[in-house]
Amino acid sequence: MSLKTCFALFFALLITACSQAPVYTDTPLGTLQGYLDEDVEYYLGVPYAQAPIGERRWRPPFQLQPWQGTRKADKNPSVCTQFSPVGGSLTGSEDCLYLNIWTPADKPAKPMPVMVWIHGGGFIVGQGSYFDGDGMRLAQREDVVVVALNYRLGIFGFMAHDELTAEDATHPSSGNYGIMDQTAALHWVRDNIAAFGGDPDNVTIFGQSAGGVSVCAQLASPQAAGLFHRAVIQSGPCVSPMSSLAAGSKLGSEAADQLGCGEHDDTLACLRGKSTSEIANTLPPDPTMGFSEGYTFWWPINDPVILPRQFMDAFKSGQFNQVPVINGATRDEATLLIWLSHNLRFKPLKPEQYLPRLEYLTGSQELAQQVALQYPLENYASTYDALTEAFSDGFFNCMARQQAQALAPHVPLWNYQFDYDEPAFYIPWADLRAFHSAEIQYIMGSPMSFTRSNFKAKEQALADSMMNYWAEFARSGNPNGDGPSQWPLYDQRDQTLIFNLQNSIATGVHAADCRFWEDLPYLRAPYQ
């Protein structure tokens, strides 16, 4: 190594050390040590519940106990146990109920709005923040406190079983542990966020994909009442029905049998005695999240305590936690999912796979043929394009429209579609367009790129507008803030804000195709 290189490394480390000065916050549970960087305080890996291990596996989250002394909170926490989407290796830990906090160092006199991020990943992969600074720019630019949480995933977060249901007579339910974790994190925010400059009476939950479904779950759950005050559903297909507790318990019994615990004298002791790896490899999900044989769904369950109503039943009837809502999706939702399931595995779609893929999605050959007539393969440049449009419309955009129509009679709702064609992605040659999750980078203020930390000049206005709309919504319950109503309320006019380089209002987005999907009885619970 040259002397010049040594000096460069030394000064880089020196700058990093100086820019990350320790900061301290006293909470009701004890003192936390985070660090300061670019005028934002970072508190990473903050526990919000006891580790769900041993006897606490498959139980509601246990309240955290106060600690003595100062607890370091300066490193991104472990992900919850999951299979890596790239390579499929088992990673993470069951000890994962942590959250990250970003709060401006220069705190205004008035407590700041709190924005709680719930990550996506099909309830089988993902984490609250992939990088230490995920929520930093939103907190810095908009004077908000950003919180990102982990929650139990896969079989650890969503396995039901008759004996688990019967274990606690005061809580006759099982299977929704990941949803309970999210609610426990919201309890933690209510009780502790004031120490970080946040307003516990002004909390916005926002999430994408499974995180969007999680927002729907918190809206629908009686357990979450009063814990948040606005909600943002990003690409959350909440029209999809949940399986019943009985069906979930049947799947749980199958898992117990595979683990050799089904006929054990104490089934639960046997299950809790198994290693993390043994449990994770039982009925494992497909880490590409689509189209593989043997895919096992781990998903929220329609149970009598946590989620007593199907989401759409709750929304249509008004029997949900009524708060203002932003709701929407991206135009090309399916590109990323198809790319992960096919192109990333060097198995791009072929024309002869079109009908089988549609049959997989709809659950029937007859329905697949109806969809193929609505989206004829010969009208598209490739099988990828045809399946992208059918999948995006039927399972995301038209579901978002149905959600808006169900919620809007009860609460103020603003609907959007993200359709910018050239968002950054970590693998730049992937043909993804306005892909599933593309909008997150503009809301968080940092491009999805390994090579650059700033947006292209033409994109910065898009990022500024999305960050401002989301933050104004968190501040006041109206994304327009005190300014003119540029983004109209959603009502019978069916108006949607289209996010791209020009931002515009459109009426009846996807209306014709959505009428086709609404008349098609293709929805089914993940397992019966």
Which structure tokens are listed for 114?
A: 């709190």
Q: How far apart are CA 163 and CA 263, in angstroms?
A: 12
* Residue whose C-alpha is closest to residue 395's, from 244, 238, 289, 219: 238
* Contact status, residue 77 vs residue 96, Cβ threshold 8 Å: yes
Antiparallel, parallel or unpaired: β 40-47 and 325-330? unpaired
At 490 the three-state DSSP class reads: coil
CA 246 distance to own-chain centroid: 26
Q: What is the secondary structure of 217-272 as a DSSP string?
A: HHHH-GGGTTS-SEEEEES--TTSPPEEHHHHHHHHHHHHHHTT-TTSTTHHHHHH
Antiparallel, parallel or unpaired: β 98-104 and 112-118? unpaired
Q: How far apart are CA 514 and CA 493, in angstroms?
A: 15
How many C-beta atoms surround the C-beta of residue 295 within 10 A? 18
Q: How far apart are CA 425 and CA 448, in angstroms?
A: 5
Strand partners, 149: 99, 118
Length of the chain: 528
List 173, 174, 209, 437, catalytic entry: 209
* Contact status, residue 81 vs residue 276, Cβ threshold 8 Å: yes
3-state helix, strand and coil shares in percent for the chain, rounded to the nearest 5 = 40, 20, 45
Q: What is the sign, positive or negative, of the torsion defined by CA atoms of 43, 49, 52, 55?
A: positive
- Where does 81-240 have alpha helices with state H? 136-142, 154-158, 162-167, 177-192, 210-220
Catalytic residue list contains 209: yes
- Residue type at 406 in one-letter notation: A
Give the list of residues 6+ apart from residue 166 with CB closer than 8 angstroms, or none.
172
- Catalytic residue set: 209
